[in-house]
């Protein structure tokens, strides 16, 4: 944190709102389960000193530590960085097209160009989607399929039009594979694409498409998508051009626990070089009858365990998001006690997760979101896209008369 007022503060883009002395601030006051093995206890002590743990040590924690202890360790590390603050921003998801030349096996969203329900929003239609929310949001988050005809000029027009009309709305758009697709369709290098999009108004890049950064897994679940090293190289290029990005992990398909940890280790290694990742967003595969029937899926225990391990292992990525759109409100709230410090405050339409089976109510915003955060002991703090401006959200007290019948004893 770089400056403070009673209701808010600002930060640099590198500090991202955290206490940079967080490693000295971790409380040793974690109630350790006396039945834990000495190896688990040693690893926890190491993490609580702020020291980095290896893939093998993370695997031991994942497999041998009970969930309450693991969650508490992750939460203590989160408290050391952010105290009880829980961050959200107001964004609108617009999925600009569902037409995609690929067919990842987990994807419920993509359509072929000739499908009856395929769509591709024109620039005007895109602006019309923003209009009703323009006073509410600070960010538009846009990802979509790999359109067979849209070259870089389309996205330049889209971002320019958005910035011209809504200069205060930050544009977070295009996953790594969309950028790679654009480069190939437009006969440009990745860096040329990123430079032109930045000039047109692109502010940040979301983390989607990381899935699991192990090529054997990608071959099964998303054959044809960018490789692990290409995903990392695209994010590295963005970071080198001063474009902050997020990173994600889709888990619960066909990967092993070790492969999840290898994924985290690869993100951590890139972050050591570039320091350009702002937030890590882990989310489980949401199944249906038709896609990836062999997926192992993730239980609530597994989801919370994975979020906790992410916080403990990713010592250099500031924020861990509870992706409520995918986790649902109940597990989304619990994730805030297992290491997550950020939660999505999405308004309006979001199609990809909802087509994949999420039932989280949309338009649940402001007071309801604040209530969810306060319910787990958090302080709701609204942030901007880059985690440089923060303000504490003051919830309206509930009205006295809610019109509900009261039970009498
Ligand atoms: S996940 Fe993305 S790239 Fe893969 S099929 Fe769906 S829209 Fe296309």
For 4-59, the DSSP string reads: EETTEEE--TTTTTS-TTGGGG--------TTS-HHHHHHHHHHHTT----HHHHH
**Mean pLDDT calculated for residue range 334-338:** 98
CB-based contact 108:288 (threshold 8 Å): yes
Pick the residue whose CA is nearest to atom 2 on ligand 1: 145
Task: Decide: 107 in ligand 1 pocket, CB within 6 A.
Answer: yes
**Mean pLDDT calculated for residue range 165-174:** 97
- State yes or no: pLDDT of 27 exceeds 80: no
Q: Work out the pLDDT band at 23, boundaries 50, 70, 90.
A: confident
For helices 300-313 and 257-274, give the axis angle rounded to 10 degrees: 30
- State yes or no: pLDDT of 193 exceeds 80: yes
Task: Decide: 210 in ligand 1 pocket, CB within 6 A.
Answer: no
Q: What is the model's pLDDT at position 3?
A: 66
Task: Delimit the domains of the chain by residue range.
Answer: 12-82, 85-392
Distance of CA 103 to the CA centre of its chain: 23
Categorise residue 251: left if φ over 0, alpha if ψ from -120 to 50, beta otherwise.
Answer: beta
Ligand 1 centre and the CA of 103: distance in Å? 6
How many C-beta atoms lie closer than 10 Å to residue 49's C-beta?
11
Q: What is the model's pLDDT at position 362?
A: 45
DSSP state of 9: E
Q: What is the model's pLDDT at position 289?
A: 65
Ligand 1 centre and the CA of 248: distance in Å? 15
- State yes or no: pLDDT of 66 exceeds 50: yes
Question: Which among 109, 111, 218, 219 is the best mutation to test ligand 1's pocket, defined by most ligand atoms within 8 Å of the CB?
Answer: 109
The CATH number of 85-392, from 3.40.50.720, 3.30.420.40, 3.30.565.10, 3.20.20.70, is 3.20.20.70
Ligand 1 centre and the CA of 109: distance in Å? 7
Predicted TM-score (pTM) of this structure: 0.89
Is residue 185 helix, strand or coil?
helix
Residue 145 CA: nearest ligand 1 atom is 7
Across the beta sheet with 170-173, what order do the strands follow? 170-173, 139-142, 90-94, 345-347
Task: Decide: 303 in ligand 1 pocket, CB within 6 A.
Answer: no
pLDDT tens-digit map of 258-293 = 999 999 999 999 999 999 999 999 999 988 766 888
- State yes or no: pLDDT of 1 exceeds 90: no
Q: What is the model's pLDDT at position 394?
A: 80
Pick the residue whose CA is nearest to atom 4 on ligand 1: 104
Q: Work out the pLDDT band at 31, boundaries 50, 70, 90.
A: low
- State yes or no: pLDDT of 409 exceeds 50: no
**Mean pLDDT calculated for residue range 162-176:** 98
Phi first, then psi: give them for residue 279, nearest 5 degrees: -145, 140
Query: 92: which strand partners?
Result: 140, 347
- Where does residue 375 rank: exposed (0-12), middle (13-18), buried (19+ CB within 10 A)? exposed
The average confidence (pLDDT) of the chain is 90
Q: What is the model's pLDDT at position 15?
A: 87
**Mean pLDDT calculated for residue range 30-36:** 72
Distance of CA 131 to the CA centre of its chain: 25
- Pairing type for strands 345-347 and 90-94 reads parallel
Query: Could you give the CA distance from residue 366 to residue 396 in angstroms, rounded to a whole number?
Result: 10
Q: Work out the pLDDT band at 357, boundaries 50, 70, 90.
A: low
Query: Could you give the CA distance from residue 343 to residue 280 in angstroms, rounded to a whole number?
Result: 11
pLDDT, greater one: 293 or 84: 84
Is residue 188 helix, strand or coil?
coil
Residue found under tokens 């960085």: 81
pLDDT, greater one: 296 or 97: 97
- Where does residue 91 rank: exposed (0-12), middle (13-18), buried (19+ CB within 10 A)? buried
Ligand 1 centre and the CA of 91: distance in Å? 22
Q: What is the model's pLDDT at position 366?
A: 72
pLDDT tens-digit map of 103-136 = 999 898 999 999 999 999 999 999 999 998 898 8
Task: Decide: 146 in ligand 1 pocket, CB within 6 A.
Answer: yes
Question: Which among 111, 177, 283 is the best mutation to test ligand 1's pocket, defined by most ligand atoms within 8 Å of the CB?
Answer: 177
Kindly tell me the sign of the dihedral angle through the C-alpha atoms of 324, 328, 330, 334.
negative
Task: Decide: 110 in ligand 1 pocket, CB within 6 A.
Answer: yes
Q: Work out the pLDDT band at 345, boundaries 50, 70, 90.
A: confident
- State yes or no: pLDDT of 403 exceeds 90: no
């Amino acid at each position: 944190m770089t400056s403070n007022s009673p209701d808010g503060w600002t930060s640099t883009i590198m500090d991202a709102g955290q206490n940079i002395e967080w490693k000295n601030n971790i409380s040793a006051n974690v109630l350790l389960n006396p039945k834990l093995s000495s190896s688990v206890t040693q690893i926890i002590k190491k993490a609580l000193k702020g020291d980095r743990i290896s893939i093998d040590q993370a695997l031991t924690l994942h497999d041998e530590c009970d969930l309450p202890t693991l969650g508490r360790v992750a939460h203590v590390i989160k408290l050391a960085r952010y105290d009880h603050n829980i961050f959200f921003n107001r964004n609108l998801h617009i999925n600009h097209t569902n037409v995609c030349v690929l067919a990842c096996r987990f994807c419920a969203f993509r359509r072929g160009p000739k499908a009856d329900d395929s769509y591709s929003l024109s620039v005007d239609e895109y602006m019309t989607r923003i209009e009703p929310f323009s006073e509410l949001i600070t960010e538009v988050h846009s990802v979509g399929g790999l359109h067979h005809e849209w070259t870089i000029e389309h996205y330049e027009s889209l971002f320019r039009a958005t910035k011209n009309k809504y200069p205060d709305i930050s544009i977070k758009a295009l996953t790594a594979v969309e950028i790679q697709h654009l480069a190939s369709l437009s006969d440009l290098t990745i860096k040329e694409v990123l430079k032109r999009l930045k000039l047109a108004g692109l502010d940040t890049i979301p983390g989607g498409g990381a899935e699991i950064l192990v090529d054997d897994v990608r071959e099964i679940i998303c054959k044809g998508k960018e490789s692990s090293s290409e995903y990392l190289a695209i994010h590295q290029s963005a970071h080198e051009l001063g474009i902050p990005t997020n990173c994600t992990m889709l888990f619960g398909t066909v990967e092993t626990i070790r492969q999840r940890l290898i994924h985290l280790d690869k993100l951590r290694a890139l972050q050591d070089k570039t320091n350009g990742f702002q937030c890590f967003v882990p989310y489980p595969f949401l199944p249906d009858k038709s896609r990836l029937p062999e997926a192992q899926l993730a239980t609530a225990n597994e989801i919370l365990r994975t979020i906790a391990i992410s916080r403990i292992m990713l010592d250099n990525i500031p924020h861990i998001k509870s992706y409520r759109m995918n986790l649902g409100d109940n597990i989304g709230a619990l994730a805030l006690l297992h290491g997550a410090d950020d939660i999505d405050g999405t308004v309006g339409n979001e199609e990809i997760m909802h087509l994949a089976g999420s039932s989280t109510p949309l338009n649940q915003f402001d007071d309801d979101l604040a209530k969810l955060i306060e319910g787990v002991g958090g302080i709701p703090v609204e942030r901007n896209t880059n985690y440089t401006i923060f303000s504490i959200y003051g919830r309206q007290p509930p009205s006295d008369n809610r019109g509900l019948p009261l039970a009498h004893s």
